[in-house]
Amino acid sequence: MSARNILVINCGSSSIKFALVNEAQETFMLSGLAERLGSPEAVLHWQQGEQKDSLVLPGADHRLALSHLLPVVQQAAAGELHGIGHRVVHGGEHFSGASRLDATSLQAIRQVAPLAPLHNPANLQGIEAAMKLFPELVQVAVFDTAFHQSLPEHAYRYAVPQALYAEHGVRRYGFHGTSHHYVSRQAAQMSDLAYDASSWLVAHLGNGSSTCAVENGHSRDTSMGLTPLEGLVMGTRSGDVDPNLHGHLARTLGWSLERIDSMLNKDSGLLGLSGLSNDMRTLEQAREQGHAGATLAIEVFCYRLAKSLAAMSCALRRLDGLIFTGGIGENSALIRSKTVNHLSLLGLQLDAQANVRCVRGVAGAIHADGHPRVLVVPTNEERQIALDTLALLD
């Protein structure tokens, strides 16, 4: 049987990120982005090999953008498209793995939408549009939360009244599961270890960041919680703060719940600490020039990351290695070095030359001889979504 082609779709409220993945090829056959959907500036961009193209689609919605994308996909796949994999942010407790999309699974995704009000409705828009345009194709939902459904109860429960969990699903879910799954499997292959007999600490670092403890192919703990706000310092998200901060700001400043929520999600993190930017590249340049805010933001980011990784180690019985991935994790030798310096109790130490070498897609080991394994592993969430889709086709 010839290698199969899967179209991977990731829909936001005004965008569609897509990739055409062939199971036998490392690089995407086609990739691109439809952005500013619903506005006069809506546009579809795509790249096939070295060739880049764009199509202006004034006022286009998700369905119209997908209808223009279809001929491009079919041409790139030579008419051989075998399925569509959709990224869905939140699967709640209903989904512990990828799911074939039908009326029942769609209703379950709608039911957990209150847990991800910014993401699941947008994901559903793309799914419903694609199902109307490709009714003959198998379509699969792959959930950011599903990989973390293996967390033990003592790791996912909050110490709040039982009724909030039983009646409203208030618990820790975790996110970035597709990335944590992919890179931990890749790390095992790179290290000649069986995935189902290996243990990893994973740091997925980007504008959104999270850590994860992966044991024998299963997530055992992770830093994000009910929402992606819990855990690490991120680009514009605060990560962990005193739970009573909301009450304090409401009482002392008269802030509304909406204003506090917006501040913690959009004005905090690296941006809030530095007063400059949420982009780590900008902050590293500013730090070199003596910018105090940028310097502080980097120090807090690395310390809080190391603190989280140390906490994640409680979920493992042994450690086969630490993995750095995501835009920052794959490209910032400074962040990796500062973070590992805080983890001397775990015996971690980097090889400075190897650390500097592993940037811009270069994977590899960066630990010093005689010290526990530290790896840089580029993530590929689109490929993992395609693999999960193919597994259901099989």
Annotation: binding site for Mg(2+): 10, 381
The region that residue 279 occupies, defined by phi over 0 for left and psi between -120 and 50 for alpha, beta otherwise, is beta
Q: 165 is written with which tokens? A: 């969990």
Residue 201's CB: how many other CB atoms inside 10 A? 28
Active site residue 144: yes
Nearest Cα residue to 281 out of 215, 207, 203: 207
Q: Which residues are annotated binding-site positions for ATP?
A: 17, 204-208, 279-281, 327-331
**Residue of 53, 102, 144, 394 marked active site:** 144
Give the three-class secondary structure for 269: helix
Nearest Cα residue to 89 out of 114, 66, 70: 114
Q: How far, in Å, CA of 80 to CA of 93, rounded?
A: 34
Q: 155 is written with which tokens? A: 């790791």
Q: 82 is written with which tokens? A: 């075998």
C-alpha distance from residue 238 to each of 224, 264, 270, 320, 348 (Å)? 12, 5, 8, 30, 27
Q: Which residues are annotated binding-site positions?
A: 10, 17, 87, 204-208, 279-281, 327-331, 381
**H/E run at residue 375:** strand 374-376
Sequence letter at residue 343: L
Beta carbons of 173 and 119 less than 8 angstroms apart: no
Give the three-class secondary structure for 350: strand
Q: How far, in Å, CA of 241 to CA of 264, rounded?
A: 9
Q: Which residues are annotated binding-site positions for substrate?
A: 87
Nearest Cα residue to 212 out of 388, 389, 379: 379
Instruction: Give the CA diameter of the chain.
Output: 67
Residue with tokens 């819990």: 230
Nearest Cα residue to 44 out of 28, 22, 60: 60
Residue 287's CB: how many other CB atoms inside 10 A? 19
The DSSP code for 35 is E
The DSSP code for 3 is P
Q: How far, in Å, CA of 86 to CA of 47, rounded?
A: 20
Residues forming the active site: 144
